Structure 1
Amino acid sequence: MGSFSIWHWLIVLLIVVMVFGTKKLKNLGSDLGGAVKGFKDGMKDGAAPEQPATSTAGQVTQQVTSEQTTIDVQAKQKG
C-alpha cells in the first residue's frame, strides 16, 4: 500500500505533461542538467590544491609600503 505501481507513475507523468507541456519540461531538464554540471565542476575546482596567486596589486602594495609614500588629500564640503 505504501509504494506506487507503474500505472500510478504513468498517470502522474501524463498529467504533468498536459499541465506544463513538452517544451517547458525540455527546458527544465536542460536547466537542471546545466546546474548539475556546474555543481560538479565547482566541486572539482574546490578539491584541487590552491596555487599561490601572483598579482600586480600585491606587488604595488608592497612597493608603496616599502617606500613609505604619503598622499595628502584635501576634503571639500558641499555648502
Structure 2
Amino acid sequence: MGSFSIWHWLIVLLIVVMIFGTKKLKNIGTDLGGAVKGFKEGMKDGSAEGDAPAGQVTNQATADKGTIDVEAKQKS
C-alpha cells in the first residue's frame, strides 16, 4: 500500500487524458505557467519598490486619496 508503481501512474494519466482531453490539459498548463510567471514578476516588482513594509500605507498614498489615518491622529 505504500508507493505507487509506474503502471499506477500511467493508468491515472490515461484516465485524466480521457476525461479532460489533450487540448484542455494544454490550456490548463499554459494558464498555470502564465500565473506562475506573473506571480514571480509581481514578487520582483514588489521587492524593487519596497522601501515601506508591505501592507503599510505611506503618507503620499493617503494624501492622494484624501483619506485620514485615524490611528495616526489618535497617537498624536
Q: Which TM-score tier does this pair reach, normalised by the shorter chain?
A: 0.5 to 0.7
Runs of 4+ in structure 1 displaced over 6 angstroms? none
User: 1:19 corresponds to which residue?
Assistant: 19
Q: Deviations over 1:5-52 (max 9, x none)?
A: 11101000000000000000000000000000000000111111448x
**Greater per-residue helix proportion:** 2
How large is the RMSD of aligned CA atoms in angstroms?
Answer: 2.2
Q: Which is bigger in relative contact order (C-alpha 8 A, separation at least 6)? A: 1
- Give structure 2 stretches of 5+ with no counterpart: 52-63, 65-76
- The percentage of counterpart residues that share the same residue type is 83
Q: Which has the larger radius of gyration?
A: 1
Q: What is the TM-score of this pair, normalised by structure 1? A: 0.60
Q: Could you state the TM-score of these two structures normalised by the residue count of structure 2? A: 0.63
